[in-house]
Structure 1
């Protein structure tokens, strides 16, 4: 899956970025490389869901997907 991010230069130095497709998903970094590492981690955190918060019955299946193909 590819996500677009919007990268901004921070007034105090470094960068910050937001992920428009995921409300509230933002991060920052002193360098561009650090920003990319941090925003990837932020996306993982924003998309992670604790199954304890979701009702799952005996007939339901829980699965994971790595990428979406067209």
Structure 2
């Protein structure tokens, strides 16, 4: 499964990564590379929790229509 990830720098200089297709799936890092690694781990954990809870893996509202 391929998912879109956004990475932006916040006011404190940290890189904040988000996966819009998975509500609440956000992470951060001191570098872009660290933020990307951290969001990959967060995505895996979020998907596992959603599977266990019987929730859809991704939010359909995150996809363009």
TM-score, L = length of structure 2 = 0.71
Cα RMSD after superposing both structures: 1.7
Higher relative contact order (CA 8 A, sep 6+): 2
TM-score, L = length of structure 1 = 0.67
- Structure 2 gaps of 5+ residues are 55-65
* Stretches (4+) displaced over 3 A: none
- Structure 1 gaps of 5+ residues are 55-70
Indicate the structure with greater helix content: 2
Aligned residues: 53
